[in-house]
Amino acid sequence: VASKSIVAASTHRRHPWVARMYVSPFFVLYPLWLLVYQRAYDDYLGSEEWTFLTLGGLIALNLLTYLASQWSVTARVWMAYAKVAVRL
């Protein structure tokens, strides 16, 4: 492609939805938070305020990682795609 605005191009394959960076880490983090909430509440959370803040922070982190992939093409490619080797 001959264009002044395009510097480089590459071919990518989309990851399955489970393997995307805004999904897969949270498959571990949400159950881990629930485990702490159920088994070690007094040791780590201790109050309703900390419970709300930690769960709210986890949800906010999940939303921000997803939204970053919607706002930025670079972030979307990094989080949801794998580079494909092109053989000519």
Decide the pairing of beta strands 81-83 and 12-14. antiparallel
The mean pLDDT value for 16-42 works out to 91
pLDDT at residue 1 above 70? no
pLDDT at residue 23 above 70? yes
Longest dimension (CA), the chain: 63
Q: For the segment 32-80, what is each residue's pLDDT rounded down to a tens digit?
A: 999 999 888 888 888 889 899 999 999 999 999 999 999 998 899 888 8
Helix (H) or strand (E) holding 40: none
- Domain segments of the chain as ranges: 16-83
- The top-scoring range by mean pLDDT among 11-20, 27-36, 78-87 is 27-36
- Decide: helix, strand or coil at residue 81: strand
**pLDDT recorded at residue 86:** 77
Tokens at residue 37, please?
């909430």
